Amino acid sequence: MNGVAITGIGIVAPGAVGIEPFRAMLDAAVSAVKPIDRFDTGGLSAHTAALVRDFKARDYIPAMKMRRMNTLSRYAVSAARLAIDDAGTQPSSESGVALGTAFGPVQTSVDYMQEYVAKGAALAPPQLFAESVANAPGSHIAIEFDLRGFNITLTQRESSLLAAAMYASSQIVKGTVPSAIIGGVEEVNEMVFSVLDRLGALAREENGLPERMRPFDRRRNGMSIGEGSAIFVAEATPSRQPYGWLTGFGIARDTTATISDWGTGDEQVAAAMRAAIDDAELTIAGIDAIYASANGTQRGDRLEMRAIQRLFGENVPPVVATKGYFGEYAAGGGFDLAAALLAIRDQKLHASFGFEEADAEMKFAPVSAPRAANLRNILVNSVSAGGGVVCAVVSREGA
């Protein structure tokens, strides 16, 4: 089995900075989704999100450099510093960088347009424009750590992080680079939040139930969004005992999906899961747990639930839904992968957050309390609005 070792994890998450605080937060089953105080949610249906608080980028980035970075870049570079420190080794300069982000620098674009309106098209600040490209965080990581291999940013909605991991892993296995920085990064801002709210995508108070993201729950009515960055050091030959290994990936698209919603083609979602398992040279029986994509949306969770049941039949392994802790999108995808890697390292499943009552057609119950488990391989899913699906297998043994 060809695998890629994950030897370092850096986390800048809502409620946790660093991998051990992150682990402690998962173990304590505490959600970081809280009322928003960053911008006004008056007139909107949703009022909560998972925001990064108590984080100071200057603890990780020199002030001179920090001034050139937007919030997104600060999250990513800080998480990369934490990941590299966690790995204990500076990656070689041949190493690559692959990041994923769903919405990227939307806030920077908004800031630019505010200046554009206020000062005119000729006088907006060039520094803001330079940071308005989605690959700015990846570029800053490369400059900060002198990484001259590939530098790629993928923006495939909920699948952004796993798509980036798939690409980086393929390049390591191919021998193009010896190691890579993989990661997800996201920023919650008023523009994205209010649009998602208007589209009805966000969890909201309804029928006397408080606003909460309820993955797989029959009463679910939307997602909560989150921000931050999860960065991973991936190596062909591990420089230390790895958390775990990325051993397989699968990709597909649900052809029934519209350009902005989930469809009903669960066979294509199951095909992506199956492809990841095949790529890891495993059988379905070799999967000991699933870290799900579930984000509390009616259609998205139903699609994934049906796909899991289609593939695993009556023998669905334990399913963990982590996005209730940290919210949706690329950083959330990264946090989900980080949780799966911790599960493999610690041989312990995490509790799902937000699930209470099973959907009528559900034949499995998400894990509700942390518990020890013999975990050889975990399937990690990302199922995107728009139809994209990328799945990965995380393994205890990799080569």
Which of positions 296-325 make contact with other proteins (CB under 8 A)?
none
Q: Name residues contacting other proteins, limited to 325-384 (CB under 8 A).
A: 384
CB of 42 to other proteins, least distance (A): 9
Strand partners, 371: 349
Q: What is the contact mask toward other proteins in residues 260 to 289, using x (rule: CB under 8 A)?
A: x-------x---x--x---xx---------
1 binds other proteins (CB under 8 A): yes
CA–CA dist 71, 156 (Å, integer) = 20
The stretch near other proteins (CB under 8 A) out of 29-37, 74-82, 129-137, 303-311 is: 129-137
Strand partners, 389: 252, 383
CA–CA dist 154, 399 (Å, integer) = 27
Among 24, 30, 130, 365, binds other proteins (CB under 8 A): 130
248 or 354, CB closer to other proteins?
248
Q: Using CA atoms in the order 51, 55, 394, 257, what is the torsion angle rounded to 10 degrees? A: 30
Q: What is the contact mask toward other proteins in residues 103 to 122, using x (rule: CB under 8 A)?
A: xx-x--xx-xx--xx--xxx
Q: Where are the alpha helices (DSSP H) in the chain?
A: 19-28, 63-66, 71-87, 106-119, 126-130, 136-145, 160-174, 190-198, 266-279, 298-312, 323-326, 330-346
259 binds other proteins (CB under 8 A): yes
68 binds other proteins (CB under 8 A): yes
Q: What is the contact mask toward other proteins in residues 183 to 222, using x (rule: CB under 8 A)?
A: --------x--xx--xx-----------------------
31 or 70, CB closer to other proteins?
70
Q: Name residues contacting other proteins, limited to 142-171 (CB under 8 A).
A: 142-143, 145-157, 163, 167, 169-171
CA triplet 122, 124, 129: central angle to 5 degrees?
115
CA–CA dist 173, 253 (Å, integer) = 24
170 or 239, CB closer to other proteins?
170
